[in-house]
Amino acid sequence: MVKISFSNDVRHEICSSVNDKDKRFACLYGMLLFCRTLTRERICFQSESSTSAALFKSLFKAVFHIELSESEHIRKNGTVLHSYDIEGETASAVFEKYKISGYERVIDSEIIATNSLGVFTAGVFLACGSVNDPSKEYHLEFACPEEGISEQLLMLLNDIGVNAKKMLRRGQNIVYIKGSESIEDTLTFIGATQCTLELMNTKIYKDIRNKANRIANCDAANIDKVVKSAMKQIEDIKLIDHSLGLESLSDELREVAQLRLDNIDMSLQEIGENLSEPISRSGVNHRFKKLAKLADEIRCGGIKHEK
Question: What pLDDT is stored for residue 4 in this prediction?
Answer: 64
pLDDT at 102 over 90: no
CATH 3.30.70.1380 fits 6-203, yes or no: no
Question: What pLDDT is stored for residue 303 in this prediction?
Answer: 63
140 vs 268: which has the higher pLDDT: 140
Q: Which residues pair with 87 in a beta bridge?
A: 42
Question: What pLDDT is stored for residue 3 in this prediction?
Answer: 46
One-letter-per-residue 3-state SS of the chain: CCCCCHHHHHHHHHHHHCCCHHHHHHHHHHHHHCCCEECCCEEEEEECCHHHHHHHHHHHHHHHCCCCCEEEEECCCCCEEEEEEEEHHHHHHHHHHCCCCCCCCCCCCCCCCHHHHHHHHHHHHHHHEEECCCCCCCCEEEEECCHHHHHHHHHHHHHCCCCEEEEEECCEEEEEECCHHHHHHHHHHCCCHHHHHHHHHHHHHHHHHHHHHHHHHHHHHHHHHHHHHHHHHHHHHHHHHHHCCHHHCCHHHHHHHHHHHHCCCCCHHHHHHCCCCCCCHHHHHHHHHHHHHHHHHHHCCCCCCCC
Distance CA 95, CA 191 (A): 26
Query: 175, exposed or middle or buried, with CB in 10 Å at 0-12, 13-18, 19+?
Result: buried
- Contact 82/47 with Cβ under 8 angstroms? yes
The 10s digit of each residue's pLDDT in 215-266 is 888 877 777 787 888 888 998 998 888 888 889 999 999 999 999 888 877 8
The 10s digit of each residue's pLDDT in 39-92 is 999 999 999 999 999 999 999 999 999 999 999 998 888 889 999 999 999 999
pLDDT at 168 over 70: yes
pLDDT confidence tier of residue 114, bands split at 50, 70 and 90: low
Question: What pLDDT is stored for residue 173 in this prediction?
Answer: 96
294 vs 209: which has the higher pLDDT: 294
- Mean pLDDT (the chain) is 90
pLDDT at 120 over 80: yes
Question: What pLDDT is stored for residue 198 in this prediction?
Answer: 92
Nearest residue to 78 via CA among 54, 44, 116, 48: 48
Tell me the mean pLDDT in the region 138-161.
Answer: 95
pLDDT at 307 over 50: no
Residues of the chain with CATH 3.10.28.10: 6-203
